[in-house]
Amino acid sequence: MSYVTICFLKGDLRGLQGCAQVILCLLVSEDPVLNNCFDGEESEEDTDILETLVETLENNSVTADNVTQVSRDVADVTRTVDLDGGDLDHVAELLKIITNVNSSSPEVTSNTVEIVDNVLDFKENAYEENVSVEAPSRILQALENQLTNLHQGGDDVNFTDVRGFVGAVAFTADKEYFSSEITFGNFFNSDKQTIRGNLNESLTDTYRGIDPSLLDDVKASITLPITLLDDIQFDASDSVPVTFVIHRTSNLFTSRDNQTEVVESLIVGATIEGKNIDNLSSPVVTRFHLLPLKVVGDERQCVFWDFQLAGGYGGWSSEGCELASGPDNESDDPIVECRCNHLTNFAILVDIQGDIDNVVLDVLSIIGCVVSVVALVITIVSFCAIKKLRSKQPQQIIINLCFALLGLYLSFLIGIDRANLGAVCIMFGALIHYFCLATVAWMCVEAINMYFLFVKVFNSGVQHFMKKAALVAWGLPLVVVVVSVAVKSVNYRGDYCFPQTGTMTFYIGVVQFIAVMLVFNLVMFVLIIKQITCRPTVEEG
């Protein structure tokens, strides 16, 4: 069979003038379709290159003899041109052509990993434009197919290729290798690294057994149980083909069904080639360092990517997976641990549906609080400026109630969402707690005052009523808050800076206190209404 060279433009296509540019050459069989120059806008030129490349390779045989060079050149093209969402279909088709050769070459596999990495290495907003439903799933499937091809050559495999956005490790091992737990993952190896940093800037490795301290630095990891081979019934003489993959982003894992859910972690996966692994007796353990997403809810799920969902396009499923541990009110540890009874690609999914509503509620709350603060300031200034208004006891109670409400609204506006500031969050949580209780306490003082006005003769009542009322209404909430902070200050830290639901601080220091005050107010209300409605009337004449 004879081969000829087909040349395509390579490099920056801006300002294309004729055919003097550097060219990219592909070695293919049969009669080529020559396209050396392209006209049009930049994005159209880039798309034309990929489209023409697809047509050329479809019309000419890509075989085991030339697939290495073809895959290399496709990697060069995808690295050079300015990709957008509309190009993904062409890239998916090119990957399909390459992987359909079923080459077990490490070079072809490395080129495939690079192509996928190039696809992911462009602007997030560009990725959203013109992306078909099928393209990301097809690209992902092509990568997995080529990693399967790698194990089909009959030789021992020892392959590692970790890039900025995607990494793959594949090897063959004897059964003895699995006498210990096997852990694969991506780990921080510097304090300067971030969870969103390139994978190849972190430590990516596989371990037999693992130092637990290393798991504290995990970005994402997967641990295979010792009983894995017993469950899938491998013969002792068989070599075990293992593949691990890791993805920095979820751009290839696009689900048509989960429009209100986002991936909150890196994605890590494992396969034993040629085996369908599920219903394991011991779970596969995955660990994830959560991404710093601005989500309010904590409805996290341990999920895996199921290629069978959505008509074969794939989707996230939680079947066979459970959340073993994760961040709680007593810890800032961002590590989540999952346990699943099968192998595939795993991640953490968080539901953001509530966040959409919460944004609206947050805005309304802020507006309401600001209006209330302004009104309270006007009220307080008016009472303080006009001596006549503050001379009587009911007005003095109202002034104290206004101060309590003002403190509540201001501390809420400034500090309710300072959950990431540690001691600052605890301080604001305690202030919000205190002014909340003080507000309710002054409402009770108002109820007592009304009771004396309508039921009892006030001038024969409590001496120095306001001093005693102030001592109780300001002092009792202070005692409750001080004790709560002293016993367990961490209870003030969670999604919001306020006593967290499910804690004793919340149930005793908030719910029980307010409940007692409300019952007391209700009793006062009933007694006052009874006195008013049952008061004897004097008949005229």
- Quick: pLDDT tens for 275-286: 888 888 899 999
- Quick: pLDDT tens for 75-104: 998 888 877 767 888 899 999 999 999 999
Indicate the range of 74-78, 115-119, 534-538 predicted with least confidence. 534-538
DSSP-derived 3-state class of residue 353: helix
Overall CATH class of domain 1-153: mainly alpha
Residue 87, pLDDT score: 83
Residue 535, pLDDT score: 63
Residue 290, pLDDT score: 87
Number of Cα atoms under 13 Å in the Cβ half of residue 314: 21
Dihedral sign for Cα atoms in the order 197, 202, 206, 210: negative
The residue ranking higher by pLDDT, 132 or 77, is 77
Residue 460, pLDDT score: 52
**pLDDT for 308 beyond 60:** yes
Give CATH superfamily name and number for 356-533: Rhodopsin 7-helix transmembrane proteins (1.20.1070.10)
Name every residue whose Cβ is closer than 8 Å to that of residue 75 and which is 6 or more positions away in sequence: 111, 114, 115, 118
Residue 409, pLDDT score: 95
Torsion, CA 116, CA 119, CA 121, CA 122, rounded to 10: -170
SS (H, E, C) 145-156: HHHHHHHHHCCC
Residue 278, pLDDT score: 84
Tell me the whole-structure pTM to 2 decimals.
0.60
Q: What are phi and psi of 247, to 5 degrees?
A: -125, 135
Choose among 324, 331, 522, 497: nearest CA to 440. 522
Q: State the average pLDDT over residues 43-49.
A: 58
In sequence order, the β-bridge partners of residue 247 are: 166, 267
| Ramachandran area for residue 416 (φ above 0: left; ψ -120 to 50: alpha; else beta) | alpha
Indicate the range of 37-51, 308-322, 443-457 predicted with least confidence. 37-51
Choose among 37, 30, 48: nearest CA to 7. 37
**pLDDT for 406 beyond 90:** yes
Residue ranges matching CATH 1.25.40.610 in the chain: 1-153
Indicate the range of 244-253, 308-317, 366-375, 484-493 predicted with least confidence. 308-317
- Quick: pLDDT tens for 341-357: 988 888 888 866 555 55
Indicate the range of 158-172, 396-410, 412-426, 511-525 predicted with least confidence. 412-426
DSSP secondary structure code for residue 9 in this structure: E
Are the CB atoms for 346 and 222 separated by under 8 Å? yes
For 286-318, b/e burial (b = at least 16 CB within 10 A) is: bbbbbbeeebbeeebbbbbbbeebbeebbbbbe
C-alpha–C-alpha distance, residues 271 and 269, integer Å: 7
Block residue for tokens 């279909």:
89
Using CB atoms within 10 A of its CB, is residue 242 exposed (0-12), middle (13-18) or buried (19+)? buried
Residue 145, pLDDT score: 94
**pLDDT for 9 beyond 50:** no
Indicate the range of 118-127, 131-140, 155-164 predicted with least confidence. 118-127
- Quick: pLDDT tens for 452-487: 888 775 455 567 888 999 999 999 999 999 999 998
Dihedral sign for Cα atoms in the order 487, 492, 498, 500: negative
C-alpha–C-alpha distance, residues 325 and 227, integer Å: 22
Residue ranges matching CATH 2.60.220.50 in the chain: 156-351
The residue ranking higher by pLDDT, 360 or 71, is 71
Q: How confident is the model at residue 148 (pLDDT cuts 50, 70, 90)?
A: very high
Q: How confident is the model at residue 128 (pLDDT cuts 50, 70, 90)?
A: low
Dihedral sign for Cα atoms in the order 207, 213, 214, 215: positive
Q: State the average pLDDT over residues 193-201.
A: 82
C-alpha–C-alpha distance, residues 14 and 148, integer Å: 39
The residue ranking higher by pLDDT, 510 or 84, is 510
Residue 68, pLDDT score: 93
Block residue for tokens 């009771």:
451
Rg (Cα) of the chain, in Å, rounded? 34
Which helix (DSSP H) or strand (DSSP E) does residue 185 occupy?
strand 182-187
Block residue for tokens 């409400």:
405
Residue ranges matching CATH 1.20.1070.10 in the chain: 356-533
CATH of region 156-351 = 2.60.220.50
Q: 122 vs 50, 163, 325, CA distance in Å?
A: 16, 14, 34
Q: How confident is the model at residue 40 (pLDDT cuts 50, 70, 90)?
A: very low
Residue 4, pLDDT score: 37
In the predicted model, what is the mean pLDDT of the chain? 80
Residue 234, pLDDT score: 67
